[in-house]
């Protein structure tokens, strides 16, 4: 009995020591959260809210480090190669950690999406919408399909990452539509061109497009949420519209591989506290982001499950990227 008590006390002391060491490592040093997209897009807007509230909880400066390019590969690789001391984190997403490795079959990917990162917390899911340009005279998805089908190859669509492109390709394939793909490095530039009429359609996050929908500069045709968006309640879900689109973009906080457990736990608890208030949740939901802070183990499970969903969707639809 005494041995058991001693072991429990020793384990507690070790945990406390690790926590103290982790805190000492980070004390006073800024935390950098790397994002694979440029400023002004949906992910950037959401992450800056999270970073501000995380900074308040930790009592440390937390900065967003935008490293766009390569479908998020540059940002992910930057974090994978960073010291695992808790000062460099990654706002990981379906794009660089799932879509790109699958669609490129691992070729040209300088990191392993599972082995080279430490899951810290699943942060939630983005509301995603299919939006069309005002120059397209379609108010519903069925009208858009009819309009596009009558003009094979004449219209185009934008994508800011592999996830939004997969959503578009699933919609096009299922409805036998022919549109030209125009890639962008981020939401902001793509949205500008959709509004102007240079591009006719795109999928994007609610954080990036819902303001333009509300003021009439974009037409939202469907949402990929399971239920209608509180911000845009008149927009039907893909299921209501008869579409089978498996994309459901999420984001989580990761660190480099082999982060100390105490450091992971400290950041996880700070994230839970940062987004635990109704005010924080409301702020993010207004941006079209549904926050749900998970444990590190739950984040790892979500990552594995979503990887399989994406892999099967690509295989079933026969989608290949050039």
pLDDT at position 23 is 47
Chunked in runs of 10, what are the mean pLDDT values of the chain (322 residues)?
49 44 58 93 91 96 94 94 97 89 85 97 93 97 97 95 87 93 90 97 92 96 92 94 85 97 97 93 90 95 89 75 56
Contacts of 156 (CB under 8 A, 6+ apart): 179, 180, 181, 182, 199, 200, 201
Coil, strand, or helix at residue 288? Answer: coil
* Residue appearing with tokens 């006719």: 200
Domain architecture of the chain: domains with CATH: 2-127+249-317 (3.40.190.150), 128-223 (3.40.190.10)
pLDDT at position 11 is 45
Torsion of CA 28, 34, 37, 41, to 10 degrees: -40
Torsion of CA 286, 159, 223, 188, to 10 degrees: 20
Q: Residue 237: phi, psi to the nearest 5?
A: -75, 165
Residue 291: other Cβ atoms inside 10 A: 23
pLDDT at position 247 is 77
pLDDT at position 322 is 54
Long-range contacts at 317-322 (CB < 8 A, ≥ 24 apart):
317/169, 317/170, 317/173, 317/174, 318/173, 319/103, 319/166, 319/169, 319/170, 319/173, 320/103, 321/103, 321/104, 321/162, 321/165
Q: Say if CB 208 and CB 194 are below 8 A apart.
A: no
H runs (alpha helix) in 108-255: 141-149, 162-174, 187-196, 206-214
248/150 Cα distance (integer angstroms): 29
218/216 Cα distance (integer angstroms): 5
Output DSSP code: residue 238: T
Q: How large is the angle between the packed helices 206-214 and 42-58, nearest 10 degrees?
A: 120
**Residue closest to 128 by CA, chosen among 217, 252, 43:** 43
**Residue closest to 184 by CA, chosen among 207, 204, 210:** 204
Question: Residue 304: in which H helix or E strand, if any?
Answer: helix 296-317
DSSP string across 94-121: HIIIIIHHHHTTTTT--S-TTTTEEEEE
Note the Cα 143 to chain centre separation in Å: 29
């Amino acid at each position: 009995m005494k041995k058991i008590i001693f072991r429990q006390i020793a384990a507690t002391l070790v945990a406390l020591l690790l926590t103290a060491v982790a805190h000492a490592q980070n004390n006073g040093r800024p935390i950098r959260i790397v994002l694979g997209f440029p400023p002004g897009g949906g992910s950037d807007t959401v992450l800056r809210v999270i970073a501000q509230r995380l900074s308040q909880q930790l009592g440390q400066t937390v900065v967003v480090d935008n490293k766009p390019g390569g479908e998020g590969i540059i940002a992910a690789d930057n974090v994978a190669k960073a010291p695992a001391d808790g000062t460099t984190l990654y706002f990981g997403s379906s794009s660089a950690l799932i879509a790109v490795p699958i669609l490129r079959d691992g070729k040209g990917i300088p990191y392993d999406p599972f082995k080279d990162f430490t899951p810290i917390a699943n942060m939630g899911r983005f509301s995603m919408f299919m939006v069309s340009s005002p120059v397209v005279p379609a108010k519903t998805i069925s009208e858009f399909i009819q309009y596009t089908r009558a003009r094979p190859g004449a219209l185009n669509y934008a994508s800011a990452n592999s996830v939004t492109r997969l959503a578009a390709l699933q919609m096009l394939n299922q409805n036998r539509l022919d549109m030209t793909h125009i890639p962008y490095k981020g939401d902001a530039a793509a949205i500008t061109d959709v509004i102007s009429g240079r591009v006719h359609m795109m999928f994007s996050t609610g954080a990036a497009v819902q303001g333009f929908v509300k003021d009439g500069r974009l037409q939202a045709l469907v949402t990929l949420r399971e239920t209608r968006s509180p911000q845009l309640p008149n927009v039907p879900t893909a299921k209501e519209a008869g579409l089978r689109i498996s994309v459901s973009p999420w984001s989580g906080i990761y660190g480099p591989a082999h982060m100390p457990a105490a450091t992971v736990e400290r950041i996880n608890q700070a994230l839970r506290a940062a987004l635990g208030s109704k005010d924080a949740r409301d702020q993010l939901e207004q941006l079209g982001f549904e926050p749900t802070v998970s444990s590190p183990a739950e984040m790892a499970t979500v990552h594995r499950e979503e990887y399989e969903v994406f892999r099967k969707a690509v295989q079933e639809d026969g989608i290949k990227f050039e």
